[in-house]
Amino acid sequence: MSDKPKVAFYWCASCGGCEETVVDLNEDVLKVVGAVDIVLWPVALDFKRKDIEAMADGEIAVSFINGAVRLSEQEDWVKLLRQKSGLVVAFGSCAHLGGIPGLGNVTTRELIFQRKYIAVPTVDNPAQVFPTVAVTADGHELELPSFYDTVKTLDQTIPVDYYLPGCPPPSDLVWNAVAAILEGKLPEKGSVLAPNKALCDTCSRNQTKPEKLAIKEFQRVATGTPDPEECFLARGYICLGPATRSGCGERCISANMPCRGCFGPPDGVVDQGAKMLSAIASIIDSSDAQEIEGIVNTIADPLGTFYRFALPSSLLGRTRIGG
């Protein structure tokens, strides 16, 4: 019987990028594998649900769970893992904040159905057939699972001990977190395992920021070309640096594309989108109500931009259903 701590990786409404970032540890992944006993990792190993069900409560030292929660099956799985685990780490933006699948909170199951089964140009569905929860086909009574209208973060579903931010978390952050866990050197529960600074603080373009940012018209990368070294905001390209936690190494910035906030906000910020809204408003160069409105109209999609990764975790959480 192995003395090594048991570790599980699981994915909910996710894309698999968080799995890939672990594989991107490259040779170091072998060190991890050597130090722990991986008991669940569907992308790479053949352990099944019954193997987890057979374990004792708390038998798994750490479960790393990525992906947002929007199916009851995902809720079942994370509750099972919470029960069987000592620690649960919300791994990646989706588990932490809702992530890109969290943008699903601008719509509903009903509207998705309408688009996919009727309106899409390639669908051939003259009888207007919709998947339904209970139907008889060829003499078989079949059931379809239903799914939630609203995407939830992991900590809206189960208690979470730590957060590893990022879409995906960079491999070096993952390595540091695993090392900290194995050595028992973790900060207080509830912490995000990344520096507590805003991106602007560590960004190389910070020095090019003028004393005062003043924008008369916001720009879009579709129709403009950012300078490869200048602060994006200085030119009116919306960059979520001011409202985003540092720790990613400014990878997008280095490719000359502005930040979209995947690390979530620094400590103490409850609603990343609202903070970003505030930051952008503060650089509008006008004191005239009408002119301000005109400048605001050059911002293409406030909700989708300020809340790109954090919609489910935000105060409002989703767009309004019904009325």
Q: CB-wise, 161 or 309, nearer to another protein?
A: 309
Q: Which of residues 33-62 bind another protein (CB under 8 A)?
A: 33, 42-50
Amino acid at 68: A
The residue within the footprint of another protein, chosen from 160, 280, 310, 313 (CB under 8 A), is: 280
User: Is residue 80 a contact point for another protein (CB under 8 A)?
Assistant: no
Q: CB-wise, 191 or 254, nearer to another protein?
A: 254
Q: Which of residues 177-216 bind another protein (CB under 8 A)?
A: none
Residue showing tokens 């991106």: 199
137 - beta bridge partners?
140
What whole-number distance in Å separates Cα of residue 309 and Cα of residue 314?
Answer: 10
User: Is residue 224 a contact point for another protein (CB under 8 A)?
Assistant: yes
User: Is residue 252 a contact point for another protein (CB under 8 A)?
Assistant: yes
What whole-number distance in Å separates Cα of residue 171 and Cα of residue 175?
Answer: 6
Burial of 74-110, coded b for 16+ CB within 10 Å and e otherwise, reads bbebbebbbbbbebbbbbbbbbbbbbbbbbbbeebee
Six-digit token string for 278: 């505030």
Least separation in angstroms between CB 192 and another protein: 19
CB–CB of 33/90 below 8 Å?
Answer: no
What whole-number distance in Å separates Cα of residue 178 and Cα of residue 164?
Answer: 11
Q: CB-wise, 161 or 312, nearer to another protein?
A: 312
Q: Which of residues 100-139 bind another protein (CB under 8 A)?
A: 100-101, 103-107, 111-113, 115-117, 119-125, 129-133, 135, 137, 139
The residue within the footprint of another protein, chosen from 31, 57, 58, 144 (CB under 8 A), is: 144
The residue within the footprint of another protein, chosen from 241, 261, 266, 317 (CB under 8 A), is: 317
What whole-number distance in Å separates Cα of residue 123 and Cα of residue 106?
Answer: 23
Least separation in angstroms between CB 284 and another protein: 5
CB–CB of 39/60 below 8 Å?
Answer: yes
Query: Which strand ranges, in their side-by-side order, compose the sheet holding 85-91?
Result: 37-40, 6-11, 60-66, 85-91, 162-164
The residue within the footprint of another protein, chosen from 8, 9, 14, 160 (CB under 8 A), is: 14
Q: CB-wise, 171 or 186, nearer to another protein?
A: 171
Least separation in angstroms between CB 160 and another protein: 19
What whole-number distance in Å separates Cα of residue 153 and Cα of residue 313?
Answer: 7
- Taking contact as CB under 8 A, which single stretch among the options 9-17, 56-64, 78-86, 178-186 is the one that binds another protein? 9-17
